[in-house]
Amino acid sequence: MPCFALVDCNNFYVSCERVFNPKLEGIPVIVLSNNDGCAVARSNEAKKLGIKMGTPFFQCKDLLYKNNGKALSSNYALYGDMSCRVIQTLQQFTPELEIYSIDEAFLSLNGFGNLTSYAKKIRSTVKQHTGIPVSIGIAPTKTLAKVANKIAKKNIAGVLDLATENMDSLLESVEVGDIWGVGYRYAAMLNKYGITNARQLRDCDDTFIKKKMTIVGLRTLHELRGESCIALELMPSSKKAIGSSRSFGKPVTDINELLESVSDYVSRAGEKLRQQNSATSAMQVYLSTNPFKNQPQYANAVSCSFPATSYTPELIRYAQACLKQIYRKGYAYKKTGILLSGFSPANAVQLNLFAEPSQDRASQKAIMSALDSINQKYGTNTVSYASSGISKIWKMLQSLKTPCFTTRWSEIPVVRA
DNA sequence: TCTGGGGTCCTAGGACCC
DNA sequence: TCTGGGGTCCTAGGACCC
């Protein structure tokens, strides 16, 4: 029987911040989404106050501050780097590991001895090497490992091997909506049929579940029964779409500022595109007003396709042309975004019969790789496109951000002894 | 005043082909 | 008045994940 362990960092973003600022220990802490909009990570103390995932900051600010809590802007450079350190530590414990998200990894523990004590060792080593607390759930399928992890989070040891438990009563204690793969819509549907906990779902009729939840739901069902259907993915697969979008710090009406924003997003996406050695042949551009505001609303999207390329200036031209198609004067816009798709390997790009002689692919490639390596070495936007603007008044707000402790020389913490 | 961003997969239905 | 059957491809929309 296969054996999976799910290692999940506790309150990951908050824990990263605490590593570099011990004053954050023991008090309610939340980390905010872009624009300091919503709470996307909460310390246990903040959870206890009743602050839910995704709560808008303006709604929980008073409660948080009244309880001596602290809010921080998100610092993705820090979290990304800390995530790498956790993964590096985990790799010492098994050769088979899947990086599932920024704060989670599935490990294969096939053939290992006493799993509970091994997991405890993993846990204490990660804490020692990185300062990050993790919880570990162990089970014969990924879905059950997720369940085990959820329960492990609640006990002191932070580790749970499902094989040591009474499955029926344990699954009965898990709400159906807490199962991996069951979102709030499916949970509501299942509840309507009287299915409220994981044991009831496990014992459902296959045909019924397939009809209501497609073969994806059926897979979940089988996994709950202990039949492994979702394999470990050891190699990260390349992306099939790359998007970039942002909400603005304040409403934008001027088309020139919107053009700057899409140009900026396209150049970010272009970097990611080249990183995975792909070329793109399709793009979608969208924009919208603020749906939370009582004001005239407008949202639209348009797609275009073109000969495969990974040359940012070309992508910027397409993006700006698309935006001009859907822009309407007189609205206060809150957000724009772009999405690249239709990928092919960059080294197998079809030559364009109608290309202008000036489009010299080799020199375009050289320019892009020079630009990418400068920005990688000296930081994002060291060199950027004129069309992305300089003022960037549409830029997002991040007033509570901590330093990039581990990724910028100038922001490294100083220890005075 | 103030409400995130980046992905994946599946299915139904329409267009199109022979 | 009567109007096939089988297949593929693409897209939009809906579900999910972190």
* Interatomic CA–C1' length for residue A408 and nucleotide C5, angstroms: 65
Yes or no: say if A135 and A151 are a contact pair by the CB < 8 Å rule.
no
Which bases of strand B sit closer than 7 A to a protein CB?
1-11
Give the residue whose CA sits closest to B10 at C1'. Answer: A214
Token pair listed for A247: 């909400």
* Interatomic CA–C1' length for residue A99 and nucleotide B7, angstroms: 14
**CATH architecture assigned to A166-224:** Orthogonal Bundle (1.10)
Nucleotide in closest CA–C1' contact with A8? C18
Considering only the C-alpha atoms of chain A, give the largest distance between any 2 of them, rounded to a whole number of Å. 71
* pLDDT of residue A151 exceeding 90: yes
- pLDDT tens column, A269-309: 999 999 999 999 999 999 999 999 999 999 999 999 999 99
- pLDDT tens column, A300-322: 999 999 999 999 999 999 999 99
Determine the topology of domain A242-388 in CATH.
Dna Ligase; domain 1 (3.30.1490)
Token pair listed for A385: 């496109």
- Per-residue pLDDT at A82: 97
* pLDDT of residue A33 exceeding 80: yes
Give the residue extent of every domain in chain A: 4-161, 166-224, 242-388
* pTM for the structure as a whole: 0.93
Intrachain domains A166-224 and A242-388 with the same fold: no
**CATH architecture assigned to A4-161:** 2-Layer Sandwich (3.30)
Q: How far apart are CA A367 and CA A370, in angstroms?
A: 5
Q: Could you tell me the pLDDT band of residue A45, with boundaries at 50, 70 and 90?
A: very high
* Interatomic CA–C1' length for residue A341 and nucleotide B17, angstroms: 26
Which residues are bridge partners to A333 per DSSP?
A: A252, A289
Which bases of strand C sit closer than 7 A to a protein CB?
12, 14-18
> Which residues in A149-164 are b (16+ Cβ under 10 Å) and which e?
bbbbbeeeebbbbbbe
- pLDDT tens column, A351-410: 555 555 556 778 888 888 888 888 887 777 777 777 777 666 666 677 788 888 888 888
Give the residue whose CA sits closest to B2 at C1'. Answer: A58
Query: Quick one: A314 exposed, middle or buried, by C-beta within 10 A (0-12, 13-18, 19+)?
Result: middle
